[in-house]
Amino acid sequence: MKNAKEIIQWGGKRYHSLNHHLRGKFGQKVFKIPLDAGLSCPNRDGTLATGGCAFCSLRGSGDFAGDRSKNLEEQFAQVKTIMHRKWSQGKYIAYYQAFTNTYAPVERLRYLYNLAIQQPGVVGMAIATRPDCLPEEVMDLLEEINKKTFLWVELGLQTIHEPTSQAMNMHYNFSDFQKALNKLRARNIETCTHMILGLPGESIEDMKQTGRTIAHMDIQGLKIHLLHLMKGTPLEAKYNENPFAFLEPGEYVELVIDLLEILPPQVVIHRLTGDSPRDLLIGPTWSLNKWEVLNQIDHRLMERDTWQGKYV
């Protein structure tokens, strides 16, 4: 049995949640304000390809981010108001989520990052990007921002398996991820890695292998996504041509727990399932009930008498 003191240290959860981590760091509720900086992605604008990653939504995987047609201050105010319906009090992490948020001339990025951290109530910043979009001048800028505020960089990995990354039209691979991670860590910048469970063509063992590999790397945070098949994505066309099976809810829950068990306890868990707009989701539809999935994970962690880091 996990020692009771450690469970209490994670606010009663059997994994090290972002919510708990931020409360500990800032002494109050802190939540992310997802923003759309109006940038693009080299995998969409023709630099690498035009289609984007097969699973990426039309809004550049920022479906809950602010409205791209509005300026940053307006987006910030609008998203903040929506978030405060859920939590009346709190401070904010400005979160550049949609598209590739290091893909612009460095002066433009400097302006965007500084503008975000100057918004009232912001205590930190998160920047989502792809591993192949971190040139030296951007790394210098991130280092500068890291000295001004609490920062983490979200790096999409999704899978370590090259055939999958090719099939998903990602145009980067595990080696690109390793290089980007090393560069960020050399500058003492925290990272949060994204992985997707349920990518077509991957076995449960393939997904575990990605998890095991990540668990041995110098990451500070992890987002586990369930693959969501969304309308308007290249993956929808692939699925229509050649339907693939979605993970079943029980299968997903057990897999997430297997991954938690091998992750070091200090790695912060930013997400344990996906989120996508109801009207865009094709499947798996069971994922719409996000709270049920999270409750099942908590329930099975107890039943299995296990926790994050049990087998580290």
Query: Residues 43, 145, 272, CA angle at the centre, nearest 5°?
Result: 60
Contact by Cβ (8 Å): 187, 146: yes
Sign of CA dihedral 257, 98, 121, 70: negative
Contact by Cβ (8 Å): 181, 155: yes
CA 66 to chain centre: 17
- Find the binder of ligand SF4 among 18, 30, 35, 41 (CB under 6 A): 41
| 200 is a contact residue toward ligand SF4 (CB under 6 A) | no
- Find the binder of ligand SF4 among 17, 43, 159, 173 (CB under 6 A): 43
Contacts with ligand SF4 by CB under 6 A: the residue count is 12
CB of 237 to ligand SF4, least distance (A): 15
Which neighbouring-strand residues pair with 193? Answer: 155, 222
CB of 61 to ligand SF4, least distance (A): 5
Round to whole Å and give the CA distance between 55 and 202. 14
CB of 198 to ligand SF4, least distance (A): 16
| 124 is a contact residue toward ligand SF4 (CB under 6 A) | no
- Find the binder of ligand SF4 among 21, 44, 59, 161 (CB under 6 A): 44
Count CB atoms within 10 A of the CB of residue 229: 23
Round to whole Å and give the CA distance between 33 and 112. 14
Reduced to 3 states, what is the DSSP secondary structure of residue 116?
helix
| 21 is a contact residue toward ligand SF4 (CB under 6 A) | no
CA 134 to chain centre: 17
CB of 169 to ligand SF4, least distance (A): 8
| 223 is a contact residue toward ligand SF4 (CB under 6 A) | no
Give 254's contacts (C-beta < 8 A, 6+ positions apart).
300
The single-letter code of the amino acid at 254 is: E
Contact by Cβ (8 Å): 35, 97: yes
CB closer to ligand SF4 out of 125 and 196 = 196
Q: Which of residues 52-71 bind ligand SF4 (CB under 6 A)?
A: 52-53, 56, 60-61
CB closer to ligand SF4 out of 274 and 309 = 274
CB closer to ligand SF4 out of 90 and 156 = 156
CB closer to ligand SF4 out of 26 and 239 = 239
CB closer to ligand SF4 out of 14 and 130 = 130
CB of 100 to ligand SF4, least distance (A): 5
CB of 192 to ligand SF4, least distance (A): 14
Look at residues 274, 266, 265 and name the one whose alpha carbon lies nearest to residue 306: 265
Give 9's contacts (C-beta < 8 A, 6+ positions apart).
none
Six token digits for residue 302: 């107890």
| 37 is a contact residue toward ligand SF4 (CB under 6 A) | no
Candidates 21-29, 41-49, 221-229, 234-242; binding stretch for ligand SF4 (CB under 6 A): 41-49
| 32 is a contact residue toward ligand SF4 (CB under 6 A) | no
Which neighbouring-strand residues pair with 155? Answer: 129, 193
| 103 is a contact residue toward ligand SF4 (CB under 6 A) | no
CB of 53 to ligand SF4, least distance (A): 3
Binding site for ligand SF4 (CB under 6 A): 41, 43-44, 52-53, 56, 60-61, 99-100, 130, 156
